[in-house]
């Protein structure tokens, strides 16, 4: 297991590209959430940066805080969904609007036919209760309603069993595989494979990620 992790960190990482059709999602549990659970869009532009950062601090670890807080300035591209249990923020996920074709995010080149769902996070003591599934379903219902022509996409590492299970529990299916070749821990080449056929290869150093 440790050897696997070392290999993934230094040489090659495999990730699954998930998507899900509206007809495959059962939204019924999102209409009747448990009494103390609420899932809401957080209105980034109407908060101050400090408030936004204070909220994120309650959910995600410090290592992610800087990157997520910088999304305050990029709020045209991002939507943030937050789950609250008894008023306490316990989980979040993000929707990223792809601004142009050949847009690099998370070592994958996206086109504007994609809309990205990602950075799923639920605080440890609330995991395994289906909160992520509810958060993702809420995000999907927003996308199906407001961006009918887009394909919702989320990328999950092969080693992330809980995220894979949670995604499959929603009805999502793997429709492609992404391999990241690394040099000194840095992703240098990204390979996209669909139905065991090579689709695309990107040399990542050629592209600049402008949204974080
Ligand atoms: C991934 C994450 C968001 C899932 O949140 P969650 O609210 O616990 O997810 P859900 O409860 O909807 O689903 C988790 C599923 O994984 C299963 N699971 C969890 N740990 C597992 C394990 N070690 N082995 C097998 N299954 C596991 C649960 O049983 C559940 O499946 P089920 O509904 O079929 O029983 C949460 O674990 C997390 O924040 N992890 C750290 C950040 C992260 O990895 N984010 C994902 C990036 S893509």
Would the CB of 128 count as within 6 Å of ligand 1? yes
Predicted confidence (pLDDT) at residue 131 exceeds the cutoff of 80:
yes
Per-residue three-class SS string for 35-47:
CCEEEEEECHHHC
Provide Rg for the chain, Cα atoms.
Answer: 17
Are 132 and 120 in contact, with CB atoms under 8 Å apart?
A: yes
Q: Is the full-model pTM beyond 0.85?
A: yes
Cα–Cα nearest to 92, from 105, 79, 104? 79
| CA angle (156, 162, 168) in 5-degree steps | 70
Atom of ligand 1 nearest to the CA of 127: 8
Going by CA atoms, what residue is nearest to atom 20 of ligand 1?
Answer: 162
Compute the Cα dihedral for 119, 211, 193, 143 and give only its sign: positive
CB atoms < 10 A from the CB of 162, how many? Answer: 13
Predicted confidence (pLDDT) at residue 35 exceeds the cutoff of 90:
no
Instruction: Label residue 63 by pLDDT band (50, 70, 90).
Output: very high
**Residue 35 covered by a domain:** yes
Predicted confidence (pLDDT) at residue 39 exceeds the cutoff of 80:
yes
Q: Of the residues 33, 135, 162, which should be mutated to test ligand 1's pocket, given the most ligand atoms within 8 Å of the CB?
A: 162
Q: Of the residues 16, 119, 166, 168, which should be mutated to test ligand 1's pocket, given the most ligand atoms within 8 Å of the CB?
A: 166
Predicted confidence (pLDDT) at residue 2 exceeds the cutoff of 90:
no
| pLDDT digits 0-9 by tens, 71-105 | 999 999 999 999 999 999 999 999 999 999 999 99
CA atoms of 31 and 4, how far apart (whole Å)? 41
Predicted confidence (pLDDT) at residue 64 exceeds the cutoff of 80:
yes
Going by CA atoms, what residue is nearest to atom 18 of ligand 1?
Answer: 162
Mean pLDDT of the chain: 96
**Residue 52 covered by a domain:** yes
DSSP 167-199: HHHHT-EEEEEEEEEEETTEEEEEEEEETTEEE
Cα–Cα nearest to 29, from 132, 151, 168? 132
Provide the domain count of the chain. 1
Predicted confidence (pLDDT) at residue 36 exceeds the cutoff of 80:
yes
Are 69 and 56 in contact, with CB atoms under 8 Å apart?
A: yes
**Residue 184 covered by a domain:** no
Residue 106 sits in a domain whose CATH number is 3.40.630.30
**Residue 15 covered by a domain:** no
Cα–Cα nearest to 123, from 90, 82, 85? 90
pLDDT at 136: 98
Atom of ligand 1 nearest to the CA of 121: 39
Q: Across-strand partners of 104? A: 109
Cα–Cα nearest to 127, from 97, 171, 71, 83? 83
**Residue 201 covered by a domain:** no
Atom of ligand 1 nearest to the CA of 134: 12
- Here the tokens at position 141 are 């219902």
**Residue 64 covered by a domain:** yes
Predicted confidence (pLDDT) at residue 1 exceeds the cutoff of 80:
no
Question: Can you tell me whether residue 95 is helix, strand or coil?
Answer: strand
**Residue 113 covered by a domain:** yes
Q: Of the residues 17, 63, 127, 152, which should be mutated to test ligand 1's pocket, given the most ligand atoms within 8 Å of the CB?
A: 127
pLDDT at 156: 98
Would the CB of 129 count as within 6 Å of ligand 1? yes
CB atoms < 10 A from the CB of 16, how many? Answer: 21
Q: Of the residues 116, 129, 165, 169, which should be mutated to test ligand 1's pocket, given the most ligand atoms within 8 Å of the CB?
A: 165
pLDDT at 3: 87
- Domain region containing 87: 22-173
Going by CA atoms, what residue is nearest to atom 35 of ligand 1?
Answer: 128
**Residue 5 covered by a domain:** no
């Amino acid at each position: 297991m440790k050897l696997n992790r070392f290999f993934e960190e230094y040489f090659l990482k495999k990730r699954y590209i998930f998507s899900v059709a509206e007809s495959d999602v059962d939204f019924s549990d999102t209409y009747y959430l448990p009494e103390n659970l609420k899932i809401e869009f957080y209105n980034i532009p109407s908060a101050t940066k400090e408030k936004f950062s204070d909220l994120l601090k309650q959910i995600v670890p410090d290592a992610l805080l800087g990157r997520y807080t910088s999304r305050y300035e990029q709020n045209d591209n991002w939507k943030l969904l937050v789950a609250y249990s008894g008023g306490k923020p316990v989980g979040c996920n993000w929707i990223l609007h792809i601004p142009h074709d050949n847009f690099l995010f998370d070592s994958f080149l996206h086109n504007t036919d994609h809309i990205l769902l990602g950075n799923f996070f639920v605080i440890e003591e609330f995991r395994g209760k289906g909160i992520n599934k509810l958060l993702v379903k809420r995000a999907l219902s927003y996308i199906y309603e407001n961006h009918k022509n887009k394909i919702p996409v989320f990328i999950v590492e092969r080693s992330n069993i809980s995220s894979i299970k949670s995604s499959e529990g929603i009805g999502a299916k793997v429709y492609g595989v992404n391999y990241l070749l690394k040099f000194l821990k840095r992703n240098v080449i990204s390979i996209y494979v669909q139905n065991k056929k090579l689709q695309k290869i990107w040399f990542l150093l050629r592209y600049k990620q402008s949204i974080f």
